[in-house]
Structure 1
Amino acid sequence: MQLADFILRDMEPIAAQWEAFAASLSPAEHMGSADLREHIEQILKDVATDLRTSQSREARREKSMGRGAGVIDPTDETAAQQHGVLRARAGFTVNQLVAEYRALRASVLRLWMDDCAPGGPDPDGLIRFNEAIDHALAESVTSFNAQIEQNRNLLLGMLGHDMRSPLQAIQSTASCLALLNAGEQVSKAADRLIRSGARMQALLDDLTEFNRTKLGLGINVAVANIDLAAVLADEVDELRAIHPDRQIELHVSGDSRGNWDGSRLQQLLGNLVLNAIKYGARDTPVCVTMTCDATHVRIDVSNRGAAIGTATMASIFDPLMRGPASQNDDGRAGNLGLGLYIASEIVKAHHGAIETRSNDAETTFSVTLPRTPEQ
C-alpha cells in the first residue's frame, strides 16, 4: 500500500499514538484529548497530499533545503503553523515540539512497515514522507518561535509600564527628602536614590523603546520646525552637569533650522555622547560637531581611545549588544546594550543614516538627517 493511502486509512491509530506521546510531556498534563490532537489530522492530510503530488527532482531538492513551498497555499496558515502557535501558548518548549514530530515520524513508519510486510516499504515513499515531515516541522518551529517572541515582547511591555508608577514614587520621595535639610547623611542618601532612580528610568525608557521596535511599532517621532543647534546645546549642558569630570565640546556651523523631533534627537545625542564617555579616554574631550547644508545636517560625535574591534563593529547597532568593559566603568552605570540600537532607530524614523568610523586615533559616530523627514 502506498504510504499516502496508508496514512489516510490509519489516521485514527496514528493520531492516538501522537496523543499518547504528547500527553507524556509535562505541559500537556492539563490538556484534554481534543487539545492534544488539535491539527494532527490536518497535518497528516497535508502530508498525504504532498506525497500524492508529483514533484521534480529539483523541486524535491529545494524543498529538502527548506526552500520549497510544498503544495500548501503560502497565503494560508497551515495546520503545522497553527500547531506551533498553540504549543507555544500551552507552555511547550521547542525541544518538546520537535519531539512530537520525531515520535510522529517513528510511529507512522513503524505502523506502515508492519502493514507492508513481507514486501517491505517503497524507498521513494520513505524519502518523500521524511521530506514532508521535515517541512511541517520547520513550519511549526517557525510559528512557535514567532509566538514565543511575541509573548516575550508583550511581557517586556507590561513590565516597563507597570514599573513606572513605583519608580516615580521613589523618585518623588527622594526629591522630598533632599529638600528637607535633615542632615548630611539624609541628603547623601536622597542623592543616591535620585541618581539610582535616574539610571532605572533610563533603563526603563530603553526597554520601552526596544519593545516598541520589536513589536513593529517603531520609534514615535513628532516632527516640528526647530532650531536643532539650540536643542542639542540643551542636551550637552545637561550631560555636562551629569558628568562634570568630562569635557564635552559642541561646534555648530550653518543654518540649523529644520523639521525634526527635538526630544528624540536629544535622546539620540545623549546615547551617542554617553557611549563616547563610557568607552573614550577619560582625559580627552568628547566632541560634538554639527554641520549644515541646504538639504541635510550632519552630527558627528567623536572620542579618543581604543579602536572598536572588527567583530564589535559588525554588530554595533544590534540590540542587546555591549562592547568590552571600558576603563571608565564604575560598576554602577548598568545598561541593557540598547543605546546605539535606539539611536539607530531614531535616525531611521527621521529617514536619515548613521555610520561608524574607528581607528587607533579616534572613534566617530556620524548621523546624517534630511531637513524634513520626507526627503
Structure 2
Amino acid sequence: MRLSDFILRDLEPISEQWEAFAATLLPAAEKMESLELREHVKEILQTVAMDLRSSQTREAQHEKSMGRGAGLIDPTEETAAQKHGVLRARAGFNVNQLAAEYRALRASVLRLWMDECEPGRHGLGDVIRFNEAIDHALAESVTSFNAQIEQNRNLLLGMLGHDLRSPLQAIQVTASYLALLNAGEHVSKAAGRLIRSGARIQGLLDDLTEFNRTKLGLGINVKPTSVNLADVLADEVEELRAIHPDRQIDYDVNGDLQGDWDGPRLQQLLGNLVLNAIKYGAQDTPVRVMVTGGVTDVRINVSNRGAAIGSATLAHIFDPLMRGPDRQSDDERTGSLGLGLYIASEIAKAHHGAIETRSDDTETIFSVSLPRDQGR
C-alpha cells in the first residue's frame, strides 16, 4: 500500500498516537482536552497525503528540498499547520515541544506503515516525499508559532508600560512632596534618591514603550512644528551638563537651523547619543555636539574620543537590546535596556532621516542627517 493511501485510511489511529504524545508535553498539555491536543492533525495529514499523490518533477523536488517549493494549498488561506502553531503558542507550548510533535508524528506514521505494509520499490520515494511534506508543515507551524509569541510579547510589553505609569507617578509625586517638607537631612536624602530612581524608571518605561511601538509596526510618533533646532538642542545639552557635571560637553552650531521638526523627539535623539558617548568614550575627554544647517538638510554630529568600536559591534550598533560588550555589567547595574541607539535611529527614520556611524582609534562619530523636505 502506498504511503498516501495508508495515511488516509488510518487517520484515526495516527491521530490517537499524536494525541497520546502531545499529552506528555507538560505543563502546557495538562489542562488541554482531547480535541485540543489532536486539533488540526487530521488536516495536516490530509495535506501531506495530497502532496504525496501529486506529480513532482526532479526540479520541483529539488526546489522543495531547499524550502522553495510551492504548496497545494491556496497561499491566501491559513493552513492547518499554521493554525496548529498559533494554537500551541496560545496554550503555552515552547518551540521545542512543537517540533517534538512533528518528530513523533513522522516516526509514528513511518513505523506503522512499514510494520503493516512492508513497502516495495516505491517505498523510498514515498519516504523522501513524506519527510519533505512534514518538514514543510513544521516550518509553517514554527513560523506562525513565533509570530504569535512575538504578538503576545508586544501586547504584554504594551500593557506593562501602560499599567506601571500610574503607581510610578504616585511615587514621584510623593517623593517630590517629601523633598519640600524640609523634614531633615535624612528625609531629604531619601526623597532625592526616590526622585532619581523614579526618573530612571520613567526613562526605562519610555524606552520600553517606544520599542514596543516599533515592534508593533507603529513606528515612532512625531509631531513636527516650526522650531529652531539651535535653541531646542541647546536646552537638551544644558540638561545633560547638569546631570553629568563631571563631563565636558561642547556644543557648536552653524547655519540655518529653523525648520519643521519634532523638537522633544530630537532632544530625545540627542540625549541618547550623548549619553552613549559619555558611557563609552574616554572619561577624561569632552563629548562634542556639532549641529550644521545646510540647504537641503541639517546634520547633527556627536563625537567622543576613546577606543574604536569593533567592526562586528558597529554592524549591529543600532539593533535593539544591543550593548557594548565592555559595559554590559554597568548597563545591568544602572538598569539600561540597550535601546538608546535603536530609539535614536527610529526617531531619525520618523523624520525621514538616518544615522551613520564611523569609528577609529582617534574618535567615534554618530552623524544624523535630517532632510528639510520630509515628504509631507
Query: Counterpart of 1:10?
Result: 10
Q: For this pair of structures, how many residues does the alignment match? A: 375
In structure 1, C-alpha distance between the alignment counterparts of 2:348 and 2:57, rounded to whole Å: 47
Q: Secondary structure at the match of 2:334?
A: coil
Q: Secondary structure at the match of 2:318?
A: coil
In structure 2, C-alpha distance between the alignment counterparts of 1:248 and 1:135, rounded to whole Å: 56
In structure 1, C-alpha distance between the alignment counterparts of 2:280 and 2:50, rounded to whole Å: 59
Query: Counterpart of 2:206?
Result: 205
For 1:186, the aligned partner's letter is: V
CA shift digits 1:63-117 (9 cap, x unpaired): 1122223222222211101100000101111111111111111111112112323
For 2:25, the aligned partner's letter is: L
CA shift digits 1:208-265 (9 cap, x unpaired): 1111111111111111121111111111111111111111111111110111111110
Query: Counterpart of 2:291?
Result: 290
Query: Counterpart of 1:320?
Result: 321
State the TM-score, normalized to the length of structure 2: 0.96
In structure 1, C-alpha distance between the alignment counterparts of 2:323 and 2:4, rounded to whole Å: 52
In structure 2, C-alpha distance between the alignment counterparts of 1:115 and 1:332, rounded to whole Å: 63
Query: Counterpart of 1:168?
Result: 169
Query: Counterpart of 1:186?
Result: 187
CA contact (8 A) 2:86 2:141 kept: yes
CA contact (8 A) 1:279 1:328 kept: no
**Mapping of residues 81-100 of structure 1, within 5 Å:** 81-100=82-101
Is residue 13 of structure 2 the alignment partner of residue 19 of structure 1? no
Q: Secondary structure at the match of 1:220?
A: coil
Q: Secondary structure at the match of 1:302?
A: strand
CA shift digits 1:292-330 (9 cap, x unpaired): 111100000011111111121111000001003359959
CA shift digits 1:149-207 (9 cap, x unpaired): 11111111111111111111111111111111111121111111111111111111111
**Mapping of residues 86-125 of structure 1, within 5 Å:** 86-117=87-118, 119=120, 122-125=123-126
Shift of 1:30: 1.3
Query: Counterpart of 1:129?
Result: 130
CA contact (8 A) 2:2 2:119 kept: no
CA contact (8 A) 1:278 1:329 kept: no
**Mapping of residues 126-275 of structure 1, within 5 Å:** 126-275=127-276
State the TM-score, normalized to the length of structure 1: 0.96
In structure 2, C-alpha distance between the alignment counterparts of 1:105 and 1:268, rounded to whole Å: 52
CA contact (8 A) 2:322 2:338 kept: yes
In structure 1, C-alpha distance between the alignment counterparts of 2:340 and 2:120, rounded to whole Å: 66
For 1:290, the aligned partner's letter is: V
In structure 2, C-alpha distance between the alignment counterparts of 1:238 and 1:106, rounded to whole Å: 65
In structure 1, C-alpha distance between the alignment counterparts of 2:278 and 2:74, rounded to whole Å: 54
Q: Percent identity?
A: 77
Quick check: 107-116 or 140-149, which moved more? Answer: 107-116
CA contact (8 A) 2:281 2:306 kept: yes
Shift of 1:372: 3.2
The change in CA–CA distance for 1:118 and 1:252 in structure 2 (over 3 A counts) is closer
CA contact (8 A) 2:331 2:338 kept: no
Q: Secondary structure at the match of 1:325?
A: helix
Query: Counterpart of 1:370?
Result: 371
For 1:16, the aligned partner's letter is: E
CA contact (8 A) 1:113 1:121 kept: no
CA contact (8 A) 2:331 2:337 kept: no
Gaps of 5+ in 2: none
Poorly superposed stretches of 4+, deviation over 4 Å: 118-121, 326-332
The change in CA–CA distance for 1:142 and 1:118 in structure 2 (over 3 A counts) is closer
Shift of 1:119: 4.6
CA shift digits 1:264-283 (9 cap, x unpaired): 10100000000011111122
Shift of 1:332: 4.9
The alignment's C-alpha RMSD in Å is 1.8
In structure 2, C-alpha distance between the alignment counterparts of 1:326 and 1:307, rounded to whole Å: 14
The change in CA–CA distance for 1:327 and 1:241 in structure 2 (over 3 A counts) is farther
CA contact (8 A) 1:279 1:327 kept: no
Gaps of 5+ in 1: none
CA shift digits 1:124-148 (9 cap, x unpaired): 0110000000100011011111111
CA contact (8 A) 1:260 1:372 kept: no
In structure 2, C-alpha distance between the alignment counterparts of 1:346 and 1:3, rounded to whole Å: 56
In structure 2, C-alpha distance between the alignment counterparts of 1:69 and 1:238, rounded to whole Å: 58
In structure 2, C-alpha distance between the alignment counterparts of 1:118 and 1:127, rounded to whole Å: 13
The change in CA–CA distance for 1:238 and 1:38 in structure 2 (over 3 A counts) is same
Q: Secondary structure at the match of 2:260?
A: strand
In structure 1, C-alpha distance between the alignment counterparts of 2:24 and 2:293, rounded to whole Å: 66
